[in-house]
A and B are shown apart, each in its own frame.
Chain A
Amino acid sequence: QKEVEQNSGPLSVPEGAIASLNCTYSDRGSQSFFWYRQYSGKSPELIMFIYSNGDKEDGRFTAQLNKASQYVSLLIRDSQPSDSATYLCAANAGNNRKLIWGLGTSLAVNP
């Protein structure tokens, strides 16, 4: 069964620190990986996607992909209290672009 795994947390970091969120996936055929942020009671919001091995940076966010290790991570630099949310990792599963989801990691950024 295809799976995406994340530590549920909570991950607690002080304001201004780097938050590191990790995700592993089981399907070697997955080609695309996505990070979504979800605030309590709201729908998921896409913040990063990555297709190639290595790093991809967008503002304070960096996604890292290592296909050999089947590992995806998200780094959030200069963490802010507004970054406190659940972060969902997802990997595509096949040509229909269906996503396999992790359960999410809860992040708390403390002022």
Chain B
Amino acid sequence: DTGVSQNPRHKITKRGQNVTFRCDPISEHNRLYWYRQTLGQGPEFLTYFQNEAQLEKSRLLSDRFSAERPKGSFSTLEIQRTEQGDSAMYLCASSGTGGEQFFGPGTRLTVL
């Protein structure tokens, strides 16, 4: 399968714990995006990488969120000291030169 993959698919954690999600983009894509989506809403932009450089981070994103893409391939999104309001689907997408973004299956986070 050459699509975008995300792990884990589901994560249940207790409030205050740290969680880390991984995204593996389509191999030839140099752009990688993280989004968050809650029920009834469109995807909310979190951050964007071109190769290993993080070019933009949403102002809505608190300091508890951090993302890396150390070698310009896979990316990780970490949430520290999780809160119940962090419960959402976390989506990763990648794009090449064409600009069309292709999404992975998402990681559903539940914070108890």
A interface residue numbers (CB < 8 A to B): 4, 32, 34, 36, 42-46, 49, 88, 90, 92, 96-99, 101-104
- Whether B101 contacts A103 by the Cβ 8 Å rule is no
Asked whether A43 lies within 8 Å of B99 as measured between CB atoms, the reply is no
User: Are A46 and B42 in contact, CB atoms less than 8 angstroms apart?
Assistant: no
Q: Is B55 a contact of A96 with CB atoms below 8 Å?
A: yes
B70: interface (CB < 8 Å) = no
| Contact indicator B43/A34 (Cβ below 8 Å) | no
Contact A32 B99 (CB under 8 A): yes
CA distance A36 to B100 in the complex (A): 11
Contact between A46 and B91 (Cβ–Cβ < 8 Å)? no
Which residues of chain A come closer than 8 Å to B25, judged between CB atoms? none
Task: Give min CB distance, B90 to chain A, whole Å.
Answer: 10
